[in-house]
Amino acid sequence: ALGWEQRARIDDHIARYGGEEFVVTLPNTDLKGAMVIVERLRADLPLPAEGPAGSEMKISCSAGVAEWDGTETVRELVARADEALYLAKNTGRDQTVAARGPVRESGTPA
């Protein structure tokens, strides 16, 4: 993932989640710290990059960041991060958006 592994802490992990999507886990990191780390990762992307036949192509990165509240399932956590990712994509791209806190069945934030 563009050399990110060389800057990761020993317990951090990155994995491809879909075609162009990745999941990054940052244990023992709060939302504010995760936002800082993700912004650093975005800043480190090679811009511009070399495309096919030596052409220049722009690489951008939209990110959604969520902090686990200790009670939600992995599916709920990923859904919140995914919602933030799509908000980042739909409001201009090439930015990081923090997820809202989890919402319980009552409809109120946890």
Burial track 74-94 (b if 16+ CB lie within 10 A, e otherwise): eebbbebbbebbebbbeeeee
Spans of all domains in the chain: 4-98
Topology adopted by domain 4-98 = Alpha-Beta Plaits (3.30.70)
20 labelled catalytic: yes
Count of beta carbons in the 10 Å neighbourhood of residue 17: 13
Q: Which of 20, 21, 67, 83 is catalytic?
A: 20
Cβ neighbours of residue 18 closer than 8 Å, sequence gap 6 or more: none
pLDDT of 48: 73
Quick: pLDDT tens for 36-85.
999 988 888 767 777 888 888 888 899 999 999 999 999 999 999 999 99
